[in-house]
A and B are shown apart, each in its own frame.
Chain A
């Protein structure tokens, strides 16, 4: 499957959790960690292994005022980047 019909999930050994010391969400992966920006956090909160990329975009588009195309670009960009860095499976 290609494009936005794919369903992202966290790869084994990847943990997305809230860090109370930094008061921020963090993404922990094998020998890597990612501090996330606001949009990154909102995207990853919707990664559950069942929602497709389209589903994630719809959800964010319903909640945020930005145009859907812009949201789609952010979502695809962030997930592809995290896939290349080994945190997310597409």
Chain B
């Protein structure tokens, strides 16, 4: 066996607090409460350790990472540790007063998410009045500061028709990178799947627009496209493989191999409050459980894509096949692949009502 390589990147979910309420949010339904969040000194330890362990990039995310008053301090600490710093934000808190301290602290790149191109629908999807206007302002500030900007658009059936306007908006904002990401159906997005999952025709429309734009803007704007699993024949390499490239730290300090991993019953995730990141990466049961190919069901073990997609997503296998150790149902070789078709059928002509992501709004179990 080859020795375990160090992790490439760490996703620091600083908080689950967020002024927005996107129904397609992939955060877990049980959001970590503010009182359980790691303290500034805990995060600093995590950053120092991460850099020593070989982490190259840190992604400050959430929730809304800018809701943490210590964000600038953490960016400065990450920068001093030699990490490449990315901020993933809704942008609504990115005021002039925040921009220059972030810059001086050493931030490298900012991603701002947009809910739509039209103010009324964008603010409706985000559940935040005047959010869209604030995001436009934030994007302008980022560009004026000289920092590279990613404009992120999450696609679902209620905004897919405006894909070309989204690409045009990204271009107009001076984004160096545009991310067109189909909703990933975890957490709140899974709860709202019927009202979000696009039709095959919508998917084709979006894909065509993205391919056109990629050809037209190549070398100027990088356009990254994240497809929805539901129409795929093969799954995505979730997180580049379990415990293979990424560590996600939840607001409470739990270390997760995948954003949605806490949904897997019976698994105990180590916390950075109790143990070192190095121990977590190399020795924890949680990170070893689905690492590599040894855990795989026979379908994957005999497949020549086993080290390409690593059997897909464990959390999706759990959510859709009832077993985190199964082949991802997104794969047509999975005996559960039919659930994808059933989900598509259920979303066809379904009501468009959305449940907003809001702490305490969790529907009763089984609902």
Binding site for B on A (CB under 8 A): 11-13, 15, 19, 21-22, 26, 28, 30-31, 33, 83-86, 89-90
Contacts and interface: CB of A to CB of B under 8 A. Distances in A.
Most chain B beta-carbon contacts within 10 A, residue among A13, A30, A89 = A30
B147 A28 contact: no
A82 to B, nearest CB: 10
A28 B84 contact: yes
B108 interface: yes
A33 B56 contact: yes
Given A31-B150, A83-B219, A15 B108 contact: yes
B6 A30 contact: no
B176 A12 contact: yes
Nearest to A31: B86
B54 A22 contact: yes
Nearest to A14: B148
A83 B220 CA distance: 8
B8 A30 contact: no
Contact of A86 (B54, B56, B177): B177
A33 B147 contact: no
15 contacts: A11-B148, A11-B176, A12-B148, A13-B109, A13-B176, A15-B108, A28-B108, A30-B176, A31-B150, A33-B8, A83-B218, A84-B219, A86-B176, A86-B221, A90-B219
B219 A30 contact: no
B343 to A, nearest CB: 28
Contacts of A33: 8-9, 56-57, 84
A70 B129 CA distance: 58
Contacts of B108: 13, 15, 28, 30
Interface string B165-181: 00000000000110100
Interface in B166-199: 176-177, 179
Given A15-B108, A31-B111, A33-B8, A84 B176 contact: no
Interface in B34-63: 52-54, 56-57, 59
A26 B150 contact: no
B84 A15 contact: yes
A21 B54 contact: yes
Nearest to B54: A21
A84 to B, nearest CB: 5
A11 to B, nearest CB: 7
Interface in B279-324: none
Given A12-B176, A85-B222, A30 B56 contact: no
B3 interface: no
A84 B222 CA distance: 7
A3 B179 CA distance: 29
Nearest to B8: A33
Contact of B218 (A11, A15, A19, A84): A84
B57 A86 contact: no
A84 B59 CA distance: 23
Contacts of B224: 31
Contacts of A89: 219
Contacts of B221: 86
A83 B219 CA distance: 5
Given A19-B54, A31-B177, A86-B222, 14 more contacts: A13-B108, A13-B109, A13-B148, A19-B56, A21-B53, A28-B57, A30-B109, A30-B177, A31-B150, A31-B224, A33-B8, A33-B57, A83-B219, A86-B221
A22 B51 CA distance: 12
Nearest to A22: B54
B146 interface: yes
Nearest to A83: B219
A28 to B, nearest CB: 4
